């Protein structure tokens, strides 16, 4: 039986004995950000396909292992279970010996926090409408985002009227 690739089956979490970046032929380009749960890196394919991903690394050091694994499992589960045009999808997820990795599309236009304060009221309304639709979708499934901020709302450059995608980064299950 042939092994499935992440692109064919994005809902699984790989348990790897080797390094995530080596296994999937990815090169770390630069850090994109750091938060309580981990650090996010821009990656590109070593094969030269030009595909870029944002990969969030959850440290599995002994002092944070339990919390990091819980956070990783929650984020990966939410991102894989929820499909909506205004929510960042999970491309692949893996547990490695020293860390867990969560790969997502890379949004080169950045996030709402990086936009200049010169947006028109119409643009701001459009952004907020897209965020509200994504959050409404999460809430209908009893999922709470837990870390909604401008820096966690990404701008999609592939659509003419780019949707703003809330990232269920720290999303936990609702009450």
Each residue of 119-166: pLDDT tens digit?
889 988 988 999 999 999 999 999 988 888 888 888 886 543 334 444
Residues 6+ apart with CB under 8 A from 170: 36, 37, 71, 74, 75, 145, 146, 147
pLDDT at 110: 87
Question: Tokens 């703003």 correspond to what residue?
Answer: 164
Confidence (pTM)? 0.80
Contact 42, 68 (CB under 8 A): no
pLDDT at 60: 92
For the chain, list the domains and their CATH numbers: 13-105 (3.30.200.20), 112-173 (no CATH)
DSSP 69-108: HHHHHHHHHHHHH---TTSPPP-EEEE-SSEEEEEEE--T
How far is the C-alpha of 175 from the C-alpha of 171, rounded, in Å?
A: 12
Contact 88, 165 (CB under 8 A): yes
pLDDT at 158: 52
Name which of 42, 7, 5 is nearest 26 in CA terms: 42
pLDDT at 155: 87
Q: What are 7-57's pLDDT values in tens digits?
A: 444 457 999 999 999 999 999 999 998 877 789 999 999 998 889 999 999
């Amino acid at each position: 039986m042939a092994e499935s690739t992440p692109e064919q089956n994005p809902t699984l979490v790989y348990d790897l004995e080797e390094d995530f970046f080596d296994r999937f032929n990815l090169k770390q380009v630069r850090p994109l950000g750091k938060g309580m749960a981990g650090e996010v890196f821009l990656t590109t394919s070593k094969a030269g396909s030009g595909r870029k991903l944002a990969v969030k690394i959850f440290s599995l050091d002994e002092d944070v292992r339990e919390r990091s694994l819980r956070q990783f499992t929650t984020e990966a589960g939410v991102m894989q279970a929820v499909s909506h045009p205004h929510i960042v999808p999970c491309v692949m997820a893996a547990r490695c010996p020293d860390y867990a990795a969560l790969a997502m599309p890379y949004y080169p236009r950045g996030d709402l926090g990086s936009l200049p304060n010169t947006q028109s009221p119409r643009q701001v309304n459009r952004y907020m409408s897209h965020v509200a639709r994504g959050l409404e979708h999460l809430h209908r499934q009893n999922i709470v985002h837990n870390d909604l901020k401008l820096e966690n709302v990404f701008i999609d450059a592939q659509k003419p009227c780019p949707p703003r995608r809330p990232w269920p980064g720290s999303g936990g299950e609702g009450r």
